[in-house]
Amino acid sequence: MNRYLRYALKAACHHTFDEKLRSRHCAVLVDGQRILGASFNDLKSHPVTEPYHRKFGRPGSTIHAEMASVINAPWNTDIAGKTVYVVRINARGKPMMSMPCDMCRMFLRDYGIKRAVFTIDSTDEGSIEF
| Chain positions contacting Zn ion, by CB under 5 A | 64, 101, 104
Min. distance of Cβ 74 from Zn ion in angstroms?
Answer: 22
Min. distance of Cβ 130 from Zn ion in angstroms?
Answer: 14
Gap between the Cα atoms of 26 and 87, Å rounded: 5
Nearer to Zn ion, 43 or 101 (CB): 101
Residue nearest to Zn ion (CB): 104
Nearer to Zn ion, 68 or 104 (CB): 104
Nearer to Zn ion, 2 or 61 (CB): 61
Min. distance of Cβ 126 from Zn ion in angstroms?
Answer: 15
Nearer to Zn ion, 3 or 51 (CB): 51
Min. distance of Cβ 64 from Zn ion in angstroms?
Answer: 3
Gap between the Cα atoms of 96 and 107, Å rounded: 22
β-sheet bridge partners, residue 60 = none
